[in-house]
Amino acid sequence: MSITADSLSNITPPGLTIDGQITTTTAVIPVINPATESVFIEVPDAGVEHLDAAVAAARRAAKHWATHDLPFRQGIVLRLVDHVRANIDELARLVTLEQGKPLAKAAGEIESGLRGLERYASWAIPVEVIRNNDDELIEVHRAPVGVVGGITAWNYPLLLALWKIGPALITGNPIILKPSPLTPVATLRLGELAQQILPPGVLQVLSGGDDLGRAMTAHPGIDKITFTGSERAGKSIMAGAGATLKRLTLELGGNDPGIVLDDVDVASIAADLYWGALSNCGQVCAGLKRLYVPQHLAPVIEEALAEVANGVKLGNGLDDGVDMGPVQNAAQFAKVRGYVDDAANRGADVYFRGEVPEGPGYFHPVTLVRGVDDSVPLVREEQFGPVLPILTYTDLDDVIARANDSELALGASVWSSDERRAIEVAERVEAGTVWVNQHPMLSSDVPFGGVKQSGLGVEQSIHGVLEYTNYRVLRVKR
């Protein structure tokens, strides 16, 4: 499949992958390029019959895949990594077309996921020996959980897919992936490529809407759901999975606070603050969503952030020199614009609005807002767009309480020139991860997950890999 910016209409639509075969459907999903607001491709819209076929294939595959030893499975995963890496340019272009991010960042997203798979494929699955004496032997082993259903979000289509594929396959589980209907193309193509490496049924990809997701959640042939998305959808999945007691890993939304302490060197952190909040056009679950700064430092921090923002070029991700793409979809674009308009109507000072390219596209200007308080929806809720509210404080205990006053607690950050002091503050902040002088920074060897209503379980690290297993205790009387 050869793709150029001049011949986008020539893209061959990828198909569903079921039991090692590429399948099409009569029903289709139109996929919009957010930089043009036009449909650039249509992909299959899978129904329950396709899900049933995929589950049956996965259950057949499970009987064989789990019997291979760990080194064999890891070797196959490494072959998959090499195959995907050989096709990274094609996949990155598809990500840019459907998601909007600049081409280099799309390639970086995929490469990051592949490095994670390489790391997962280097780890042993631990066996814990509780007792080994003259009376008895007790060992805790890990067994595959079964068939995994993975549901991914639209902000990082392939990174999130790879985060789920690697741990599932390495621990002996077949996986059925359902990408967001807003960004299904690259994941479907990934599924096609994977069929050239993996046995039939081990990795299958179905594109479809919310009905397909609900069917996966309730399907008795799926043993675990791993989901990345909103807390609203996560609650629905948790309710739907209850009847079959599925295992769950839920990485949900965040309204991450950043607390700047009064000893910072503003010039040295301004760029990191900016990109911690507005990387990927602000569409990052763990991105910095509300920034708390000392009142006396507010003017200099606001000016420094505006200076960084002024140098950011917004545009079509296929064009050279673009730093930031559009908001991914029309509904999210309207939501973000609504938050800003509401804050302005409440008296907020929208003191910086960046330039947007002429013509179509869901291009929301980079927007910095001050003069707001914690009651404004822009602050209370996850905006998920290129907007950052800046709030002031005078009392450290008070700002920590304000930062913790949220039902969401995925990440947070503390910024200071004094590491010890920053850590003391970080230990009082409620979040799955608290960064110091960075935000967000994710690594495949470090667990990532939320607390409160930001999720269940973790992804990445050996802890995330083991979430795809069940305990199996061996207890021998001697």
Residue 1 is predicted with a pLDDT of 33
Residues with catalytic roles: 251
Torsion of CA 49, 52, 54, 59, to 10 degrees: -160
State the Cα angle at 208 between 170 and 460, rounded to 5°.
Answer: 30
Residue 5 is predicted with a pLDDT of 41
Q: Say which DSSP state 66 is in.
A: T
Cα–Cα distance for residue pair 413/291, rounded to 1 Å = 9
Our measurement of the distance from residue 58's CA atom to the centroid of its chain's CA atoms, rounded to an integer in Å, reads 24
pTM of the model: 0.96
Element (H, E) at 226: strand 224-228
Q: Residue 427, exposed/middle/buried by CB under 10 A (0-12, 13-18, 19+)? A: exposed
Residue 10 is predicted with a pLDDT of 74
State which residues of the chain have pLDDT below 50: 1-8
Residue 7 is predicted with a pLDDT of 41
For 338-426, strand residue ranges (E) read 349-353, 367-370, 387-393, 408-409, 411-415
Domains, the chain, ranges and CATH? 8-252+454-477 (3.40.605.10), 256-443 (3.40.309.10)
Q: Residue 118, exposed/middle/buried by CB under 10 A (0-12, 13-18, 19+)? A: middle
DSSP β-bridge partners for residue 205? 17, 177
Distances, alpha carbon 164 to alpha carbons 10, 116, 363, 375, in Å: 30, 11, 30, 36
Biggest alpha carbon–alpha carbon distance for the chain:
78
Residue 11 is predicted with a pLDDT of 87
The crossing angle, in degrees rounded to 10, of helices 185-194 and 157-170 is: 30
- Give the side-chain half-sphere CA count within 13 A for 240: 22
Residue 9 is predicted with a pLDDT of 52
Residue 227 is predicted with a pLDDT of 98
Cα–Cα distance for residue pair 389/347, rounded to 1 Å = 13
Cα–Cα distance for residue pair 412/410, rounded to 1 Å = 7
Cα–Cα distance for residue pair 45/25, rounded to 1 Å = 7
